[in-house]
Amino acid sequence: MTPEQLEELLLKIQQGETSIESGIERLSRLPFEDIGIAQLDHHRSLRQGAPEVVFGEGKTSAQLQAILTAMARSGANILITRLDIDKGTALHNQFPAGEFDADAGTFCLVQQPIVARGGKVLIVCAGTSDLPVAREAAVTAKMLGNPVEELVDVGVAGIHRLLAKGDTLREAAVIIVIAGMEGALPSVIGGLVSVPVIAVPTSVGYGAAFGGLAALLGMLNSCASGVTVVNIDNGFGAAFAANRINRCGQA
Amino acid sequence: MTPEQLEELLLKIQQGETSIESGIERLSRLPFEDIGIAQLDHHRSLRQGAPEVVFGEGKTSAQLQAILTAMARSGANILITRLDIDKGTALHNQFPAGEFDADAGTFCLVQQPIVARGGKVLIVCAGTSDLPVAREAAVTAKMLGNPVEELVDVGVAGIHRLLAKGDTLREAAVIIVIAGMEGALPSVIGGLVSVPVIAVPTSVGYGAAFGGLAALLGMLNSCASGVTVVNIDNGFGAAFAANRINRCGQA
Amino acid sequence: MTPEQLEELLLKIQQGETSIESGIERLSRLPFEDIGIAQLDHHRSLRQGAPEVVFGEGKTSAQLQAILTAMARSGANILITRLDIDKGTALHNQFPAGEFDADAGTFCLVQQPIVARGGKVLIVCAGTSDLPVAREAAVTAKMLGNPVEELVDVGVAGIHRLLAKGDTLREAAVIIVIAGMEGALPSVIGGLVSVPVIAVPTSVGYGAAFGGLAALLGMLNSCASGVTVVNIDNGFGAAFAANRINRCGQA
Amino acid sequence: MTPEQLEELLLKIQQGETSIESGIERLSRLPFEDIGIAQLDHHRSLRQGAPEVVFGEGKTSAQLQAILTAMARSGANILITRLDIDKGTALHNQFPAGEFDADAGTFCLVQQPIVARGGKVLIVCAGTSDLPVAREAAVTAKMLGNPVEELVDVGVAGIHRLLAKGDTLREAAVIIVIAGMEGALPSVIGGLVSVPVIAVPTSVGYGAAFGGLAALLGMLNSCASGVTVVNIDNGFGAAFAANRINRCGQA
Amino acid sequence: MTPEQLEELLLKIQQGETSIESGIERLSRLPFEDIGIAQLDHHRSLRQGAPEVVFGEGKTSAQLQAILTAMARSGANILITRLDIDKGTALHNQFPAGEFDADAGTFCLVQQPIVARGGKVLIVCAGTSDLPVAREAAVTAKMLGNPVEELVDVGVAGIHRLLAKGDTLREAAVIIVIAGMEGALPSVIGGLVSVPVIAVPTSVGYGAAFGGLAALLGMLNSCASGVTVVNIDNGFGAAFAANRINRCGQA
Amino acid sequence: MTPEQLEELLLKIQQGETSIESGIERLSRLPFEDIGIAQLDHHRSLRQGAPEVVFGEGKTSAQLQAILTAMARSGANILITRLDIDKGTALHNQFPAGEFDADAGTFCLVQQPIVARGGKVLIVCAGTSDLPVAREAAVTAKMLGNPVEELVDVGVAGIHRLLAKGDTLREAAVIIVIAGMEGALPSVIGGLVSVPVIAVPTSVGYGAAFGGLAALLGMLNSCASGVTVVNIDNGFGAAFAANRINRCGQA
Amino acid sequence: MTPEQLEELLLKIQQGETSIESGIERLSRLPFEDIGIAQLDHHRSLRQGAPEVVFGEGKTSAQLQAILTAMARSGANILITRLDIDKGTALHNQFPAGEFDADAGTFCLVQQPIVARGGKVLIVCAGTSDLPVAREAAVTAKMLGNPVEELVDVGVAGIHRLLAKGDTLREAAVIIVIAGMEGALPSVIGGLVSVPVIAVPTSVGYGAAFGGLAALLGMLNSCASGVTVVNIDNGFGAAFAANRINRCGQA
Amino acid sequence: MTPEQLEELLLKIQQGETSIESGIERLSRLPFEDIGIAQLDHHRSLRQGAPEVVFGEGKTSAQLQAILTAMARSGANILITRLDIDKGTALHNQFPAGEFDADAGTFCLVQQPIVARGGKVLIVCAGTSDLPVAREAAVTAKMLGNPVEELVDVGVAGIHRLLAKGDTLREAAVIIVIAGMEGALPSVIGGLVSVPVIAVPTSVGYGAAFGGLAALLGMLNSCASGVTVVNIDNGFGAAFAANRINRCGQA
């Protein structure tokens, strides 16, 4: 129920066209989002130009194509994540206008121009094995309308390579730091900059890495104050959080 | 070595007062922070008005008093966290001008006026047992110069109490959500708002809560996109991260 | 041995048709459930019309077909769970009268009419990925003779979608809530209704979901009083418990 | 906002005493519970005669006494759980009319007569060490208005003691089974009866019992279909769930 | 009900002295232990001379004294385990004839002579810190009537000390090996002898010993075939198992 | 003893200054059991007629065939465990005289007659899914020369099926109890008999069974005194331990 | 920037060819490793003759071949680890001069002679299943220029086989001990020798071995003082550490 | 070699049939290192000047004083670790010549002069809370005769403080790195130096630090090659390992 519909209902009551009983009835039943709490549905129907997001893992090619077909009609931009090469290729064959990024595991269908706004989102990763997660973060941040820069292979065991990138670090508005193994990079970067740092543990590593648990615990226990953490391999979530931060002072 | 000192050294070399050999020697040894990378030491000597922070846990009263005495001379504001009632009272006896908050476990010595800047940091907690963590976050955020509002006892089992606070949620620039037990509150709030949400698991609960592990895992697996997480009971860290976010567009 | 058979045996002894020795022999050997403790065998040979249940996982197609053939002779209804598509198809080819539900992983052979009795069992799930578990619960509850309604995709990050279903929630006699990731949905529903709520954690999620552990811990620590929990992905068990509850006041 | 207040508001709009604009304003802001969703607040203000419940752990004696004083004014029955002997005695000194059960750790103030309704809630526990949890469950179930029977010390290592209680098991409407160590008792009982079985793991045991984890996992993996589980040592939660079940067919 | 009683009952039915109805009634209700399964209660009322066992942990001094008083009347030997020094001393004051072993945490009241039978139970422990567990095992094994020998401080880091005790190892009928830290001793001994080896992990150690978990896992993964394991610190259980083994060929 | 001392001792013997008896005495006491300690290598070269054992998992077919060829020359009996169907078939093709048991995953080459000695080893398992582990135990126990009986599908949820087998339980000298899920069966059996009980947790189950962890913890925390435990799925180890026990009084 | 380049810059400033401003500019920006901290980059560009190391896991054949081609141009020795048979064979086809060790999973391209220096690195492993890890360690140690000896199949259950190798143990400068299952071997060896012992847990084992966790915990809790540990299956890391130790007194 | 064979050999030597040389040869080869293997007991009776070590935790004051009294008679140096202030003071009162270090929890009785030999052992710790572990390591390393230098409070969040200590790092022969929280420091240092690095996780931290588990996992997964790890808080073990390394090239 839109404010206009509510106004119309009250008008009819005022004018006697609708009885008070039926007004009570209708008002008590209306869905909550109808009474002006606009943000309640924000994550489903995003603002003009923002993408619809589909989590691709665990869905079949057929399901994904059906969802994409339905969504595409709205003219919105669409981002599908966690696609393997078979599903991604199938989607691309069906929607040649879309772009499948095999490294990121993402499929993007851009139907409305995306204008990058806000500060730069810098995505740093420790090793080349962390690249898929970094790419997922980069694609997501771009689809959400953020300027993105990537910095790869700057792990803590070769700390000078990171320190040599002082300017790049200083120019970022938000930094996403992606690391597997011991997950120490966010602590070092968190100590070098004063902007928000979002840490993403990856499942890279073996033995006692326990599928990313070591990196996750390391990041949660970061000695650098103010580092926050998302789930293992969750490049999408980190970029989504970075976008929230980047939109912070813009409303 | 300041830029001025560097200029002086090069001048002396140019003028022949210093030999090239001794110039090489001196330049190869100088500490990195001397060559203009100002942010390297930012977390020790913060900008004018920002507090010095001391982690009080595991330090004796004597050590804390010595540290506080030394720091106080600089005229900076000082925040000490994780104090029990004995240590806090002892500090207050020594520095009556400071304020000990027994709930938060913090001691604040304000020697320079703090002007709240930026958007509102909203601190939400699920139950009364989460209050100590919420208080630590609130005190920290205020000491760092942020406007703070607190919202307590709005757990997900009584979801209407939270929904009734729609305006409060909508007015925040950053939201810190603190919850123990199943840690579900950040997911609900993350679905209601579009601003950054920082989740803090608490060690509240018993049995299979495993000292906050259940809440921590719950928050890392939040179905609301873009929720980030800090360590169990780490109200300080959440506030520090909120401050980083709040300063984001202000440089 | 039914009470009727026991009566017959004693009659024959009384009438001298059966010797005391052979009476002792027969009585000492008979399985315990024969001597009137009717509930002892309830989970093997259920009451008239109730299904025989076979756990299909870890059994070969040949074994399953042999079991099904043997059981079918009794004329009982039969429910086989945890079937993959190959095993399910093979069973269906052998018993075309049976129904294989590929989503639920179940095969049902209905040889006696099932009359739905008792209150409605409502099965709620948080996301589309939880559907297989929800389907297993639904098929089981129906085979056990319960009216079933399903409510899908009402996760806590879009809380208004759930709240809009107030009537549906209010009409249920028992609610099974299925969720992966942080497993928060049972807490919210447990706070909205006063009927029994059975929570089923699913292995949906990645990273620190740890195969359903996060959801399991979340549900065990639910802040809504009176929520009970079954094993990860155990839709069958939840439906079996719901049926026990639904039969509660019917004896 | 009660239905009466809503009727009054609409009447005023109909009669022109309130403008449509102010009607829209007021209706969009009203708390959700006001518009007839009565069950939303059920767990705070329970039906006539049902108790207010307070979780006593982590609250000081002073806080508890203040809460109790405030609540007692309403004339409702009150149940406080998780009290140690000091807090319990202090409450009893203040409210001699109340009853402190040191074994259960509960304090009950009965200001309105409790009429036991529904089937019998049977509380079974494996060993004498599980008694405090059993007592908490018993007190809670009684305060919620259920007939309660207790059966103690019937662990699975002496299975005949349990089997000798066949009549008692058969007469129950709901069974709460409490066990530490390997937590096997619910499986055995779940195989003997057809009514709902709620399992409560306890932290009793040592070494690899890991504070109740072994019993919890055992119960979640029960080979008896339809056993549900609550958190470790959560006698209160089990009784609350049993009450939900016992009220199932009574609406 | 003995076979004789069953014969008598059937006779009476044959002779018309007992009606069929009452025969059905009696046969359906008889407790299982009545039909000749004498061993069902063996662990409560042990054979002549075997001790009654009480687990002392979690019981108050008053409860223990009451239990001991009641048990002592039967004239049986009594073993109470897991006593701290206060409880043990109190028991000894009450029953000066009994013996409190402060190291083992046991109290033994010997009212009937114990004759050691069977092969030697050898109890080996790795370090002096494991002694309390070793003592509990030794006292238990003796009370159960086994010859016992102890061998202490023969850890694997000084393997020659163990090897020098070849004769002692060879003379044992059963060996209980107690070790904390990495729990390697049972593997070494299991490779040296061919008799049964029961491993007891202890909670001795720190850091990643995780309260005995490291030793427990080590022992379960022993590379010596045929080593079996009991719970952490469970010296009593190991001795009870050793006694079962020692009685193996004696029936 | 240094080489010099050894030389001196031998010199004295040569010169008659030291008797041969005292030489033997001295030499046998210093170097451990080195001289004449046959059991040191017992698990490699077993007594006449005992099998050589090879762990087949992780070895290639080629490696296994090479090992078997080499071992077979000695004329000893050979037991290979943990074989999949491909490896087992390959071995059988090469050695048609051997027997491959696909359920147990074992290959037995019997070159010397095996005479079953000692008491009966009873192998009990809870469900049909536990059968492979039970079969591995049975084959191993037979190859080691023990009389074996198997009892299957007697889980605790249908306790009467187990109780009906009282005679079988009473006749065993050692009982191996194999169970997955909650692992409760050993506790029940341990309470019914007085002979040694060896518990084997299996990885059967799903969700919070965590690959056998639930059953393992359950068994370690058994409330039946004197139950010992081996590693998850370790049927071989349990049989090896049972054999050690069965040989106990036979030396 | 090499010392030569630094000297040239300062010379130009002295001679007025470069202005002081541009000197400041250039010096403040130069990467840290340029100003004489030679060791900063040591692990990338190793000393003459030391190998470049590439972690092969998670890289495609195409990527590996590209990396190898680029690296080979420098004339350095190259070690690639964690290769499966497909990748290894592909590399060998491209670079026939290189050697692929299928057991170790390594590819070595030796373009400069390797002279073994320092003490002997002894690599001991407990079972044949640990061989791949042992081989990775051996290849790595050799490529780094260490004399290597291997000792296999000397597990603690057959302790005499280890003790018989006393000479071999005594001659080593560093010992790498590799073991799965309970991981006890390093404790025994650590007690026999006084040289550095590096323990490598392997993922060999099943059930409660939990992928090497049991061995890892065992080794961390070694009762032999001074044993250090690397990650599960990390033969490369152990050899790298051994090389660091072996170079200790050689600078 | 059986006693009979031994007798035969000695007889032949006595009779001159076997030469003494061949007797020595034969005897020294069969019984392991038994003859002349001084290092077998090295960790009990260390070389002249090396300390006897006692682990003080879990021993009473009385026990410690008895042990110390007995050991002191030998004139050896003695190191007791893990002492609290009460035990340490009691020992110092009894042996005023000894030194109790309350921070390290150590008591040292130096009865023979200690001459520092070998390269410098550098002990680095991340925060002031790690100091007790660092002190234990320092005291141990000194007692074992190593030159020691300490470097404190150089955590990775202020990386420049560490980098400014380049000279100190470069001069060390072995580096012990002690860190809690995320345990990242060893990775950074391991990347800066080429000497052996031993990492010690500490139990410092809270929440998801899980008593040092986070730091332990971080260090095991270090991205710097060749870092080895000891148990949580095990400063003694790290120093003992460092001493082994430092003695490496000195034999």
CATH number at residue F169: 3.40.50.1970
Task: Note whether B231 contacts H129, CB cutoff 8 Å.
Answer: no
- For residue B208, give the nearest of D31, D40, D216 by CB distance: D216
pLDDT at D34: 33
Alpha-carbon span D238 to D177, nearest angstrom: 9
Return the number of CB contacts < 8 Å for E and F. 130
CA-CA distance, H133 to C54, in Å (whole number)?
58
**Chain B neighbors of D59, CB-CB under 8 A:** 128
Q: Note whether residue F115 is domain-resident.
A: no
Per the CB < 8 A criterion, the answer to whether F182 and D201 are in contact is no
Residue from the list H158, H206, H208 with its beta carbon closest to the beta carbon of B44? H158
pLDDT of H54 > 60? The answer is yes
Distance of CA D185 to the CA centre of its chain: 21
Compare G24 and F49 and report the one with higher pLDDT. Answer: G24
Inform me whether the pLDDT recorded for H31 exceeds 80.
Answer: no
| Contacts A234 to C, Cβ<8 Å | 206-207
Contact between chains at E207 and H57 (C-beta distance less than 8 A): no
On whether residue B116 sits in a domain, the answer given is no
Last residue within a domain, chosen from E49, E82, E109: E109
* Residue of chain G minimizing CA distance to E219: G182
Of H128, H163, H207, nearest to B232 by CB-CB distance is H207
Query: What is the sign of the dihedral through the CA atoms of G17, G18, G20 and G21?
Result: positive
- Identify the helix (H) or strand (E) that includes residue G86: helix G85-94
Determine, for residues D27 and A35 on separate chains, whether the beta-carbon distance falls below 8 Å. yes
Residue of G nearest to A207 (CA): G232
Residue D115 lies in a domain: no
Mean pLDDT value across residues B96-124: 94
Q: Which residues of E touch H (CB under 8 A)?
A: 128-129, 157-160, 204, 206-209
- CB nearest to H233's CB, from E157, E160, E207: E207
Q: How many CB atoms lie within 10 A of CB F114?
A: 16
For residue D60, pLDDT beyond 50? yes
- Interval H197-210: pLDDT, tens: 999 999 977 778 88
Question: In the numeric block, which tokens belong to residue F74?
Answer: 């000695």
User: Which region among B169-183, C44-58, E28-42, F170-184 has the lowest average model confidence (pLDDT)?
Assistant: E28-42
Q: Which residues pair with A54 in a beta bridge?
A: A80
Please check whether residue B100 is in contact with residue B93, taking contact to mean a CB–CB distance below 8 angstroms.
no
CA H171/CA H149 separation, integer angstroms? 10
pLDDT tens, position by position, F86-105? 999 999 999 999 999 999 99
CA-based nearest residue in chain G for residue E127 = G223
Three-state secondary structure readout of C207-251: HHHHHHHHHHHHHHCCCCCCEEECCCCCHHHHHHHHHHHHCCCCC
Residue A67: the pLDDT is: 86
Report which DSSP code applies to D96.
Answer: T
| A226 → chain H, closest CA residue | H157
How many helices and strands (H and E) does chain D possess?
Answer: 10, 9
Domain membership of residue E33 (yes or no) is yes
Chains C and F touch (3+ CB pairs under 8 A): yes
If pLDDT is split at 50, 70 and 90, which confidence band does G135 have? very high
Of B214-223, G80-89, G195-204, H155-164, which range is least confident? H155-164
**Per-residue pLDDT tens for C97-126?**
999 999 999 999 999 889 898 999 999 998
pLDDT tens readout for residues B10-57? 788 778 788 877 776 666 544 333 333 223 333 333 333 478 898 888
CB contact under 8 A, B244 and A198: no
Say which residues have a Cβ less than 8 Å from residue B176's Cβ, sequence separation at least 6.
B121, B122, B123, B124, B134, B137, B141, B198, B200, B235, B238, B239, B242
Residues in E touching D209 (Cβ below 8 Å):
231
Question: Do B172 and B207 contact (CB within 8 A), yes or no?
Answer: no
In this predicted structure, the answer to whether residue E44 has a pLDDT above a threshold of 50 is no
Q: What is the pLDDT of residue E251?
A: 43
Contacts H42 to G, Cβ<8 Å = 194
* Closest chain F residue by Cα to residue E40: F192
Counting CB pairs under 8 A, whether chains H and E reach 3 or more, is yes
Q: Which chains touch H (3 or more CB pairs under 8 A)?
A: A, B, E, F, G
Residues of B with CB under 8 A from a CB of C: 126-127, 155-159, 163, 180-184, 187-188, 190-192, 205, 207-210, 213-215, 217-225
Report yes or no on C153 lying in a domain. Answer: yes
Do A24 and A65 lie in one domain? The reply is: yes
Upper half-sphere CA count for residue G50 (Cβ side, 13 Å):
14
Q: Looking at the structure, tell me whether residues C134 and C242 fall in a common domain.
A: yes
Q: D104 and D131: one domain? A: no
The residue among B70, B87, B109 that closes a domain is: B109
pLDDT at G174 over 90: yes
Q: Which of the residues F85, F153, F160, F165 would you substitute to probe the C interface, choosing the one with the greatest number of C C-beta atoms within 10 Å? A: F160
Predicted confidence (pLDDT) per residue in H57-94, tens digit: 878 898 899 889 988 887 889 999 999 999 999 999 99
Q: What does the H/E/C string look like for chain H?
A: CCHHHHHHHHHHHHCCCCCHHHHHHHHHHCCCCCCCCHHHHCCCCCCCCCCEEEECCCCCHHHHHHHHHHHHCCCCCEEEECCCHHHHHHHHHHCCCCEEECCCCEEEECCCCCCCCCCCEEEEECCHHHHHHHHHHHHHHHHCCCCEEEEECCCHHHHHHHHCCHHHHHCCCEEEEEECCCCCHHHHHHHHCCCCEEEEECCCCCHHHHHHHHHHHHHHCCCCCCEEECCCCCHHHHHHHHHHHHCCCCC
Amino acid identity, position E212:
G
- Give the chain B residue whose CA is nearest to the CA of G34: B28
In a domain, D76, yes or no: yes
Residue G25 is predicted with a pLDDT of 61
Q: What residues of chain A lie within 8 A of the CB of B220, using their CB?
A: 216, 229-232
Of B7, B28, B29, the CB nearest to G24: B7
- Chains with ≥3 CB–CB distances under 8 Å to C: A, B, D, E, F
Smallest Cβ–Cβ distance between D126 and the set F180, F205, F223 belongs to F223
> D57–B204: do the CB atoms touch at under 8 Å?
no
Domain that holds residue E134: 121-248
Tokens of residue H174, six digits = 């072995």
Q: Pick from F165, F167, F105, F169: which is nearest to F137 by CA?
A: F105
Higher pLDDT, A23 or E247: E247
> C198 pairs with which residues across the strands?
C176, C228
Backbone angles phi, psi at B61, to 5 degrees: -55, -40
Q: What is the pLDDT of residue F24?
A: 65
Contact (Cβ atoms closer than 8 angstroms) between residue H41 and residue E160: yes
- Per DSSP bridges, beta strands E121-125 and H174-179 are unpaired
Do B14 and B95 lie in one domain? The reply is: yes
Using the predicted structure, report yes or no on whether residue F31 has a pLDDT greater than 50. Answer: no
Contacts of D183 in chain F (CB under 8 A): 182, 184, 218
- Please give the residue that has the higher pLDDT: either B178 or G74: B178
Q: With contact defined as beta carbons under 8 Å apart, do B64 and B54 qualify?
A: yes
Q: How many CB atoms lie within 10 A of CB D66?
A: 12
Q: Do the chains contact at G43 and H191, CB–CB below 8 Å?
A: yes
| Pair E53, E152 in one domain | no
C52, C88: one domain: yes
H175 with H211: CB under 8 angstroms? no
At E215 the pLDDT is: 92
Q: For the ranges E179-183, F39-43, F44-48, G70-74, which has the lowest average pLDDT?
A: F39-43
Rounded to an integer, the average pLDDT of C57-73 is 86
Closest CA relative to residue H98, chosen from H143, H63, H131: H143
Residue of G nearest to E185 (CA): G184
State yes or no: pLDDT of D37 exceeds 60: no
What integer is the mean pLDDT of E56-85?
A: 88
Q: Which residue has the tokens 């043997």?
A: C70
Tell me how close the Cα of H230 comes to any Cα of chain E, in angstroms: 10
Do the bridges between strand C148-152 and strand C121-125 make them parallel or antiparallel, or are there none, so unpaired? parallel
Same domain as H135, residue H224: yes
Q: What tokens were used for E47?
A: 């054979």
Residues D100, D47 share a domain? yes
Percentage of residues of chain G with pLDDT beyond 90:
48
Distance from CA of H46 to the nearest CA of F (A): 18
pLDDT in tens, A115-164: 898 999 999 998 878 899 999 999 999 999 999 999 988 888 888 888 88
What mean pLDDT do residues F116-134 have?
91
Over residues B135-139, mean pLDDT: 97
Residue E204 lies in a domain: yes
Count of domains forming chain B? 2
Co-location of C72 and C101 in the same domain: yes
Looking at chain H, the whole-number percentage of residues with pLDDT higher than 70 is 86
Looking at residue C50, the DSSP 8-state letter turns out to be P
Shortest CA distance from A47: residue in chain B: B194
Specify whether E129 is located in the same domain as E241. yes
Over the stretch H97-155, which tens digit does the pLDDT of each residue have? 999 999 999 999 999 889 898 999 999 998 878 889 999 999 999 999 999 999 988 88
Nearest partner of C72 among C85, C47, C100, C91, judged by Cα:
C91
Contact criterion met (CB below 8 Å) for E159 and G191: yes
Looking at per-residue confidence, does F168 or G12 come out higher? F168
pLDDT at E35: 30
Q: What is the DSSP string of F123-153?
A: EEESSGGGHHHHHHHHHHHHHTT--EEEEE-
pLDDT at C39 over 80: no
Determine the Cα–Cα distance for residues A214 and A205; give it in Å rounded to an integer.
9
Q: Judge if D230 and D209 occupy the same domain.
A: yes
Q: Pick the last residue of a domain from C79, C109, C139.
A: C109
**How many beta-carbon contacts under 8 Å exist across A and G?**
40
- Chain A residues with a Cβ under 8 Å from any Cβ in chain D: 3, 6-7, 10-11, 13-14, 16, 20, 23-24, 27-28, 32, 35-36
- Domain assignment of residue B115, yes or no: no
Return the percentage of chain F with pLDDT > 90, whole number. 47
E contacts of C24 (beta carbons < 8 Å): 3, 6-7, 10
pLDDT tier at E159, thresholds 50, 70, 90: confident
pLDDT at A6: 66
Among candidates E32, E37, E231 on the partner chain, residue whose Cβ is nearest the Cβ of D208: E231
Q: Is C209 exposed, middle or buried (0-12, 13-18, 19+ CB in 10 A)?
A: buried
At residue F165, the pLDDT reads 86
Range with the poorest average pLDDT among B77-91, E58-72, E132-146, H86-100: E58-72
- The lowest-confidence range among C219-223, E7-11, H38-42, H219-223 is H38-42
Per-residue pLDDT band for C32 (boundaries 50, 70, 90) equals: very low
| Closest among G101, G108, G97, G93 to G54, alpha carbons compared | G108
Q: Please state the rounded mean pLDDT for residues H144-170.
A: 88
From F214-218, G169-173, H162-166, the region with the lowest mean pLDDT: H162-166
B63 and B156 in one domain? no
What residue ranges of chain A have pLDDT lower than 70? Answer: 1-6, 24-49, 249-251
Say yes or no to pLDDT of C230 above 90. yes
How many angstroms away from the CA of F243 is the closest CA of chain C? 30
Residues of chain D with C-beta less than 8 angstroms from the C-beta of C216? 220
Tokens found for residue B192: 């209601």
Residues of chain G with Cβ-Cβ distance to B28 below 8 Å are 3, 6, 35-37
- Give the number of other Cβ atoms within 10 Å of residue D170's Cβ: 16
Q: Does C37 score more than 70 pLDDT? A: no
